[in-house]
Structure 1
Amino acid sequence: MVTFEQCRFLLGLTHQVRITQLQIAAGQHCAIFGANGSGKSALAAVIADQAELLEGTAVLPARIGWVSTAQQQALIEAERRKGDADILDVEVDPSSARDIICRDHVEWSAAQEQQLQQLAGVLRLQQRLDTAFLALSTGETRKLLLIKAILQNPELLVLDEPFNGLDVDACAALHLLLAELQQRMTLVLVLNRLSELPAFMQKILYLAHGEIQWQSADSGISAVELAELAQLNQLQQEPGPLPAKDRDRFTPALAEQTLVKLRQGKVQYGERVIFYGLDWQINRGEHWQITGPNGSGKTCLLQMLSGDNPHCYTNDLQVFGYQRGSGESIWDIKQHLGLVSNSLQLQYRVGCPVLHVVLSGFYDSIGLYDQPSALQIKLALEWLALIGLEAKGKDSFQSLSFGDQRLVLIVRAMVKHPTLLILDEPCNGLDELNRLKVLALLSVLARSGESTLLYVNHHAEDKIDGIHQVLRMTDYQAPTYQSDAI
């Protein structure tokens, strides 16, 4: 089904991918592992026929489905650009989830509608098909793109980190769906966790430095090979001490012991209640984990705290001693915050060096528009060294892999030693090595008592030592919504 012999591909404008030899037979379901920046997503894009062949021999099937973060990002940007039409006084309706799914089909048959409803039922997306695409959560967007790809009835389905952003129940539903799909199409999955590897997979590739360093035998995946792969993923070092504060740009001290106070919090869009009746208080040094299914309001709640959601003004909300809507500026709030989230990563499209991205954390900006001091540059380089990316300080942020971008944004959030550090699925896209490194780093930060952590994640194994408080969003759901959620 897939054959590459002595191939060189051009991906995008400048990135080249070389594949000496690779064969994937029909029905030989394949998983791709590797460290962040190893070339996993690039190889998946090549297999999905998204690159230009410069030399060599490549054979691919006619019908290929592809789901990736890059695809998700492109769709979000295209929808946001529709807002530019307002400048031209042109009214443009936002695309719904159904519009995105159906737009590539010339005709829409009753059979396709039936299949759409079945897939939406499996992934619990029925109630969201007529919702604006940009109103979907990260996990819901991934489900939508998967449905769209399956409806194209591909011979080969390439999924780049399909479990990213999905909660526990959604991951279980996706495993069941993949087990059904593998009977009628060949699957290629990019994965970061061995725990995500479906039992039916028959081939594993491990990448390093853009090349296939190791692969399992074509006869299937043995227990010995799984142990070898686990060894390749092992953590080799513990994080060192955290870099110091800058003398000029750091989070100012707060007199208040209570950082956040929300009374009877409620978020509603139209007739859909996301959550209601939430009384919540965050005290200094009181670390919280926030749990709940995709679409239950976790990200919305965190965006209210950071001032990135207008519902911060419709609720009785105090943040860092300010009653929201009482005349405070957004910078009064952001000076005390560090933030890592999927939406921030999708928005950080400024073409600047990696070092500038870290330095922008001192100024709470997307991109660097101030002249940093010598000390700030020194500290930013120390943070990059802590995550093993000091050699990439001059590289373009956009040239990094998704996982390396996430690492950079994590240290960007930490450089000013914020009073409140918001971590919305910080380990998305990280390989085993870097995930363990980041969790250890955050555990050190939690124990230091300097920053208060708010942590959203969907994986029980991604534990941060020192977090003992739990906010369960399912306790604040409308009953009709709770039954539909994953």
Structure 2
Amino acid sequence: MKIIEVKDVSLGYNGKAVVEGLSFDVEEKDFWAIVGPNGTGKTTLIKAILGLIKPLKGRILVFGCPVQRVCKHRKMIGYVPQMEKFDPNFPARVMDVVLTGSYNKLGAFKMPGKKERERALELLRWLGMEELADHPIGKLSGGQQRKALLARALFAEPRALILDEPTSGVDIVSQEKLIELIEKVYREKGLPVLFVTHNVNPILHLITNAVLLGFGRHAAGNREILFDKKILREIYGKEIEIVSREGKKYIITGDYHHA
């Protein structure tokens, strides 16, 4: 089943395209990496899939529904946005943040009750965060805050999950724990995932497909395009080194490690 369909889409702002003629389909059990340096349109693509901006050209369908049309299907996508840390003085608790994930189902005029709180606590328990439920979210580490946002995204029982640079700005240990948690969600809940990143190495074992975005160029296909040096050179304009260590492949560029 096609979850998301991107059909000959061009994206940009003020009529100026950043991405032109992009096409790919996300199906059940897919794990897509959206890869590229800053400024190549990764977050713009996600905003278009979420219906927050309109493509300059082409169509995007979510569960067969055009994203620009207001329909229930848009609520079926869980979203963890790119963000810096919460302000340390932000008064909300972890539980409060997770409960905001209930608003889509409850509507604007109904507050979360006992049932929603029990579900939020169950989610936090499943994610290994139950003991942090009453902690101020601004006092948590960056990795813990991302986990809370993941719990919020999962609260509405989505049928697909979009993660925009979820490991950006967190330390290596927190990054590893967060990816383990995302893998748990992917494996156990069976959700298709779109994972936006500039560094694919930590998630190479999960990726089934990839969109590579460069400046004015792009490619989309199965995971093998990540290891095609010709495609990588055409997209990024430089030689990419692919090395194997202890049975694992790593993709290395001159300035940082990514595809």
- Partner amino acid, structure 2, of 1:361: G
- Partner amino acid, structure 1, of 2:3: L
- Distance change >3 Å, CA 359–CA 309, structure 1 → 2: same
Which residue is equivalent to 1:352? Answer: 92
1:295 aligned onto 2:39: yes
Which residue is equivalent to 2:112? Answer: 372
Which residue is equivalent to 2:81? Answer: 341
Query: C-alpha distance in 2, partners of 1:307/1:416?
Result: 18
1:320 aligned onto 2:60: no
- Distance change >3 Å, CA 473–CA 444, structure 1 → 2: same
Query: C-alpha distance in 2, partners of 1:401/1:336?
Result: 29
- SS for the counterpart of 1:471 is strand
TM-score normalised by length of structure 1 = 0.40
1:7-46 matches, within 5 Å, as none
Which residue is equivalent to 1:279? Answer: 23
1:427 aligned onto 2:167: yes
- Partner amino acid, structure 2, of 1:276: E
1:457 aligned onto 2:197: yes
1:211-222 matches, within 5 Å, as none
Choose between structure 1 and 2: higher strand proportion. Answer: 2
1:258 aligned onto 2:2: yes
Q: Deviations over 1:88-108 (max 9, x none)?
A: xxxxxxxxxxxxxxxxxxxxx
Deviation of the 1:460 alpha carbon: 3.7
- SS for the counterpart of 2:179 is helix
- Distance change >3 Å, CA 307–CA 346, structure 1 → 2: farther
- Partner amino acid, structure 1, of 2:80: V
- Distance change >3 Å, CA 270–CA 373, structure 1 → 2: closer
Query: C-alpha distance in 2, partners of 1:343/1:333?
Result: 25
1:393 to 117, 120, 133: 133
Which residue is equivalent to 1:417? Answer: 157
Deviation of the 1:482 alpha carbon: 6.7
Query: C-alpha distance in 2, partners of 1:289/1:375?
Result: 35
- Distance change >3 Å, CA 318–CA 298, structure 1 → 2: same
- Distance change >3 Å, CA 333–CA 309, structure 1 → 2: farther
- SS for the counterpart of 1:268 is strand
Which residue is equivalent to 1:171? Answer: none
Please say if residues 215 and 236 of structure 2, whose CA atoms lie closer than 8 Å, have aligned partners that are also in contact: no
- Distance change >3 Å, CA 339–CA 264, structure 1 → 2: same
Deviation of the 1:351 alpha carbon: 4.5
Query: C-alpha distance in 2, partners of 1:280/1:269?
Result: 21
- Partner amino acid, structure 2, of 1:372: P
Deviation of the 1:297 alpha carbon: 0.7
Q: Deviations over 1:413-448 (max 9, x none)?
A: 123331110011111233334322221222222223
1:306 aligned onto 2:50: yes
- Partner amino acid, structure 2, of 1:294: N
- SS for the counterpart of 1:274 is strand
- Distance change >3 Å, CA 315–CA 271, structure 1 → 2: closer
Deviation of the 1:345 alpha carbon: 6.9
- Structure 2 residue runs of 5 or longer lacking an equivalent are 219-234, 238-254
- Distance change >3 Å, CA 337–CA 346, structure 1 → 2: farther
Percentage of pairs with the same residue: 26
Please say if residues 264 and 279 of structure 1, whose CA atoms lie closer than 8 Å, have aligned partners that are also in contact: yes
- Partner amino acid, structure 2, of 1:453: V
1:332 aligned onto 2:72: yes
Query: C-alpha distance in 1, partners of 2:168/2:109?
Result: 28
- Partner amino acid, structure 2, of 1:338: G
Deviation of the 1:353 alpha carbon: 2.2
Please say if residues 277 and 476 of structure 1, whose CA atoms lie closer than 8 Å, have aligned partners that are also in contact: no
Q: Deviations over 1:24-60 (max 9, x none)?
A: xxxxxxxxxxxxxxxxxxxxxxxxxxxxxxxxxxxxx
Query: C-alpha distance in 1, partners of 2:169/2:10?
Result: 31
- Distance change >3 Å, CA 345–CA 316, structure 1 → 2: farther
- Structure 1 residue runs of 5 or longer lacking an equivalent are 1-256
1:85-484 matches, within 5 Å, as 257-270=1-14, 272-311=16-55, 315-325=58-68, 328-329=69-70, 332-343=72-83, 351-364=91-104, 370-448=110-188, 450-463=190-203, 465-474=205-214, 477=217
Please say if residues 359 and 376 of structure 1, whose CA atoms lie closer than 8 Å, have aligned partners that are also in contact: yes
The alignment of Structure 1 onto Structure 2 pairs a total of residues equal to 220
